[in-house]
A and B are shown apart, each in its own frame.
Chain A
Amino acid sequence: MSQEIIDIVQNYLTPNIPITLVSQGAEAVVFTTHVHPYLPQDSNKTGETKYIIKYRPHKKYRHPVIDQQLTKKRTLGESRLLAKLYQIDGLKVPKLIACDQYNGCIWLEFLGSQLPDNNGFSNLKHFLWWNKADPYNNVVKESLLKVGQQIGILHWNDYVHGDLTSSNIVMVQDKLGVNVWNPHLIDFGLGGVSNMVEDKGVDLYVLERAIISTHSAFSDQYVEWIMQGFSQVYEQHGATGEKKLKELLKRFHEVRMRGRKRTMIG
């Protein structure tokens, strides 16, 4: 199954674009490549810069016409959202490079890097693990404040992520400082526009659950820092911001309570 999809994508892209499989989810297959889809190859740069290719395979169990419409809708939905989000001041998301709506293929800027000493790809989950010997160090604190700010900016602008796990937050090392990490949000396949506190509360709850499940010993402090960064964004917007923040925090609390009850029962 997996090899079949790789062959389809490789065939579509031609041998001129060698690809490496990164992840195969229910919805999309993700590859990396070193070849830009259309910029003339700059001989100095070749081999350095990576790009993400995200492909939504056809689902055989769906009617072909419906399948094509769904593929088109989701590919476009994610691309359109990324394009909008990119224009929001301060928000960090991957750049949209190309979009083939007919074939369900989008090209994105590759973000992040391998952490030192085989600590894995620099998503938030691995980043926190990498720091577990000194879990409350200043770099972790600053980074988590910034994670909170990113979510704050997203929510303040009435967008939600829809699947905000610690794998969907990528830490990008700042060009100017080895100890400075800038969190970027990725995978907006389930994201969208929403002004509902419920959707925002669920985003926060999903992230909290992710952190509790992988970093339980430190999760209280981690979530506190994230919420501190989150709140700062709202507090910058005066009384309106404070009011919205209060409503949101209240709902986050309720979502959390509901979640607890559910896990206690079953």
Chain B
Amino acid sequence: MIQTTIPQFPDFTLKISLFKDVINSAEIRSKIADYPFAFIDAKTICSVEQLMAALYRVFIEKNYNRIRTKSLTSECLLCLAPTSNIGEAFRRFGLKDDTKEVICVQIIPTEDLPLDEVDISSLIDGFEVDMNDEHLKQFCDKNIIREIYKFDASFQPNSIEEVTRAVVSAIQLRGM
């Protein structure tokens, strides 16, 4: 798990965990509205930087009262997307019934941190692994990412770093 804050928005703390071999995605999906988490299909995420770029954007939107979904956690999915179509963002980045690798993001007011008792591993039937670039690189699907972010045919990234650069730009520029 990564626990971090975005320097410009210290009032909130982020807890990000990564699971593999998950077998109850369908069950999590059916109750998703009850949980104060964003569940993300790890196939769509190639690096920590991609996810954090979207979380930064969540707080920028919040700062200017531009949140368009019902919570900060659902806004994570929208902020990952290259377009402002909420339904599509949920469909693309959210869990499918058969998702095996799951990223889970919790956004907690920093002052409430000592009270936070939610144990994410009790909700997810799978194995927690370190949330890092190495694992994300292994779990992501470059073709799906290419399709979601609609890369130009001429753009042929040679590395995950180049993919990251392209998606970070798309995330920062959405709707503009």
Contacts and interface: CB of A to CB of B under 8 A. Distances in A.
A248 B69 CA distance: 50
A38 B172 contact: no
Interface string A92-103: 000111111111
Contact of B168 (A17, A41, A96, A103): A96
Contacts of A103: 64
Given A38-B56, A80-B173, A87-B152, A95 B165 contact: yes
A102 B57 CA distance: 12
B7 A17 contact: yes
A141 to B, nearest CB: 28
A86 B7 contact: no
B60 A100 contact: yes
A26 B58 CA distance: 31
B170 to A, nearest CB: 7
A87 B60 contact: no
Contacts of B173: 76, 79-80, 83, 99
A13 interface: yes
Contact of A99 (B48, B66, B172): B172
Contact of A16 (B7, B49, B55, B60): B7
Given A37-B56, A40-B2, A101-B176, A96 B169 contact: yes
B10 A38 contact: no
Contacts of A178: none
A4 to B, nearest CB: 20
Given A87-B152, A99-B172, A37 B8 contact: yes
B6 interface: yes
A129 to B, nearest CB: 32
Interface in B115-140: none
A54 B38 CA distance: 32
Given A87-B155, A95-B165, A98-B53, A37 B176 contact: no
Interface string B21-53: 000000000000000000000000000110011
Interface string A186-200: 000000000000000
B4 interface: yes
Contacts of A138: none
Contacts of B64: 102-103
Q: At the interface, is chain A mostly helix, strand, loop or mixed?
A: loop
Contacts of B55: 38
B172 A96 contact: yes
B166 interface: yes
A95 B168 CA distance: 10
A35 B53 CA distance: 14
Interface in A63-118: 76, 79-80, 82-83, 86-87, 89, 95-103
A251 B66 CA distance: 48
Contacts of B152: 87
Nearest to B172: A99
A87 B4 CA distance: 30
Contacts of A14: 7-8, 10
A39 interface: yes
Nearest to B56: A38
Nearest to B161: A95
Contacts of B4: 40-41
A39 B48 contact: yes
18 contacts: A16-B7, A38-B52, A38-B55, A38-B56, A40-B4, A79-B172, A79-B176, A83-B170, A83-B172, A86-B169, A87-B154, A89-B154, A95-B168, A97-B53, A98-B53, A98-B172, A99-B172, A102-B64
Interface of A: 13-14, 16-17, 35-41, 76, 79-80, 82-83, 86-87, 89, 95-103
Closest 7 interchain pairs by CB? A83-B169, A38-B56, A16-B7, A40-B4, A99-B172, A38-B52, A87-B155
